[in-house]
Each structure stands twice: as structure tokens, then as C-alpha cells.
Structure 1
Amino acid sequence: MPAIHVTPLSRLHDTVEAIGASHVVTLINAATSVARPASIPAERHLFLGVSDITAATDGHILPGEEHVRRLLDFTRKWDAERPLLIHCWAGVSRSTAAAFIALCALRPTRDEAEIALRLRAASPSATPNARLVAVADNMLGRQGRMVDAVAAIGRGADCFENTPFHLKLDE
């Protein structure tokens, strides 16, 4: 069954190999160098240089419509035959937001609250970046339901970095 996997940067290469990912999304500070896994062709790796912030801050890149549009376009082109892997620095905020956004986009009739609860069950540490979620909510016409769903699950448990986890597309 197709799934979206989430991992921190430190586990990127091991996780790609372990799950046989076909596509990778990187959400990380623009200046951070990330070596693309050898098994992932360049056209199947989306690099989004974005900071993990929710309000404009000097010296940082605020997540915006361009970033979410690129994420949506990329995930909609994914054939779901093999896993999609999403990562950020710690696998806690940007990547969990991107996984939530991708599931909402790929399954437009699914309830946002149910998807958020699945995210929480899969990862007690997940704390989706509220800015990314709000931008996607607007772009997907979800009328605040994505924002409300993420707010309802609250901040995840503290951690240095998240443990890799996955969300099945149709569970």
C-alpha cells in the first residue's frame, strides 16, 4: 500500500534505502547542503529552501505560496507505486506539515481532523509548521479546517529529532 514516510535529515539515506522510496522532498534552510540519495534521480527530488518559522524573521525564508505550490505539484506527480519520503532537519515540523498537506491534497474528500489524528498516532513528536499548514489550507480551499485540525492535536512531545514514521494513503 502506498505511503508517505517522514524522517529527520540524519536518517535520510538509511530510510530511502530501507523503504525503497521513489521520491524525496527536502524542506530545510536554503543554505543547508543535502546530498541527494544515489537511488533518487534529480527530477524525483524536490528541495524547498525554507526556514522553520511562522512569521517573517530577518535572515530567514518564510514558507509561502511558492513553496506550497511546488510541494503540491510534486506530490501530485508522484505515482504512489513506491513510497514518498519527506524530511527536514529534525523530522518534526516542516516535514510533518508537508506530509499532512500532501495527504490532504491527495485525498481531498478525507476529513482533515482524521488525517491530523492519524499523524499524531504515527508520531507523538509531530508538530506541523503552522505557517505551511495555513498557506496550504488557503490554497486547497479547506476553509480553515486544516489549521483547526493541526491546532487540535497540539504541540508534539519534545525530542531532539523525530523517529521515522509513515502514513498510508488509504488507511
Structure 2
Amino acid sequence: MSLPSFVPYRLTVCGIQELPSHAAAGVTHLVSILDPTREPLIEFDDYGPHDRIDLRFHDIVEELPDQTAPVARDLENVLHFGRRLTDKAVAGDHLLVHCHMGISRSTAAMTLILAQARPDRHAGEALAEVVRIRPQAWPNLRMLEIGGDMLGRRAELLEALREVYAKHAVGKPDWLRFLSENHRGREIAHMG
């Protein structure tokens, strides 16, 4: 969770297992990203009133058989939700974005929301804010490509992403092997 410095609302990125610990955190806006086959979560039953969007797609960067890749419509929904929040933000608002582990889809969605909210700042600063609040961030490349195009900020985002990937990958051969075995070689290649 961050203090409201980059945007005028609090920010949290997390995975499913962490959701119960945020039930009393005053979450007012929530982006939930799950695999299409995942059962609906009951964790939100313990949250107070909140505005939420539920998105269903796999954490992939390539079109794969029997899997649902994030598409433009998904990112339009994320950006529309973020725009509504930013336009009407009041003191005490708290945005939580989650996916399965709070590493890839959620951090990409949060980055896009922040890049949209602050067009006066380099998009890399939005990504840096996400990494600050979620150090294990490895934002989904496909989501940043699509959303970056929508915002007209693709080059800025992908330039900053290269450094995030490179720093995160240092000394983690198992992580790189996982990415390679799961058709995410484009993310490895993006490190340069």
C-alpha cells in the first residue's frame, strides 16, 4: 500500500492469498483479474462497499490454444475504471488491484491506471511507483503493449519495463526458465 503521492488515492497490489488481509483496509475500488476457469472469490464478501470490475484472462503474452489472452477490450475496461476513479477521487479512496500472485497482470493493470492518471509524468514513473509498492512486479508485456498503445505511451512504458525486467531477473535462473517454459520468451527478449 502506498501513501497518496503519485495519485490522490491509496494503492495496493496483491495476490489472492493476501486479499483477506486487506478486508479492513477501506478498499473503495477494486480490479480483480482471474483466470477464466477460476471459481468466483468469496474474499470480497468481507470487504465493505466498493466499486469493482472482474476481468477473466490468463497471464500469457502470446495467443495460445485453450487459453484466453488479454485483449484490447480488457485493457479498455481497466482504463475506463481508472479514469472514473481518477475523475471522481475523494479523500480516503483506496484502489486495490489483484491477480493470482500479484506479480504480472495486476502490476500491469496498475501501471496503466497510473500512467493514464498522470499524463504530466513520464510513464516510467508510473511503473516505478508500482515497483515501489510491489517490488516483485513483473508486469505482463502484452498488457503494457496494448494499453500503452491506447494511451499513446507504449514507447515510454516499454523502455522503463526493460530495466524492471533486467533488475528482477538478476540471479533468478528458475524464474527465467519458468518464463521460457510458459511461452513468455518475448519478456525475456525484452530485457535486451
TM-score interval (norm. to shorter): 0.7 to 0.9
Deviation at 1:32, TM superposition (A): 0.9
| Structure 2 equivalent of residue 80 of structure 1 | 89
Give distance in 2, aligned partners of 1:132 and 1:85. 18
Distance verdict in 2 for CA 1:138–1:92, change over 3 Å: same
Distance verdict in 2 for CA 1:126–1:143, change over 3 Å: closer
- Is 1:117 aligned to 2:123, yes or no? no
1:91-134 superposed Cα distances (whole Å, 9 cap, x missing partner): 00000111111100111121112222233333321100000010
Gaps of 5+ in 2: 175-192
* Counterpart mapping for 1:13-28 below 5 A: 13-17=20-24, 19-28=25-34
Deviation at 1:4, TM superposition (A): 2.0
Which one has the largest radius of gyration?
2
Give distance in 1, aligned partners of 2:83 and 2:126. 18
| Structure 1 equivalent of residue 68 of structure 2 | 61
- Larger relative contact order (C-alpha < 8 A, sep ≥ 6)? 1
Decide which of 127, 137, 141 is 1:126's aligned counterpart.
137
Decide which of 1, 13, 18 is 1:11's aligned counterpart.
18
Between Structure 1 and Structure 2, which shows a larger proportion of helix residues? 2
Decide which of 51, 54, 57 is 1:47's aligned counterpart.
54
Distance verdict in 2 for CA 1:144–1:12, change over 3 Å: same
Decide which of 91, 99, 102 is 2:102's aligned counterpart.
91
Distance verdict in 2 for CA 1:72–1:46, change over 3 Å: same
Q: Secondary structure at 2:137's aligned position in 1?
A: coil
Q: Secondary structure at 2:142's aligned position in 1?
A: helix
Give distance in 2, aligned partners of 1:16 and 1:72. 24
Q: Secondary structure at 2:23's aligned position in 1?
A: helix
TM-score when normalising by structure 2: 0.75
Q: Quick check: 1:3–1:80 contact (8 Å CA) kept in 2?
A: no
Give distance in 1, aligned partners of 2:67 and 2:14. 23
Deviation at 1:37, TM superposition (A): 1.4
Gaps of 5+ in 1: 160-171
For these two proteins, the number of residue pairs brought into alignment is: 158
Q: Secondary structure at 2:138's aligned position in 1?
A: coil
1:16-59 superposed Cα distances (whole Å, 9 cap, x missing partner): 32x20011111110111222613355x71111101000000111
Query: What is the RMSD of the two structures over their aligned residues, measured on CA atoms?
Result: 2.2
| Structure 2 equivalent of residue 146 of structure 1 | 157
Q: Quick check: 2:12–2:133 contact (8 Å CA) kept in 1?
A: no
TM-score when normalising by structure 1: 0.83
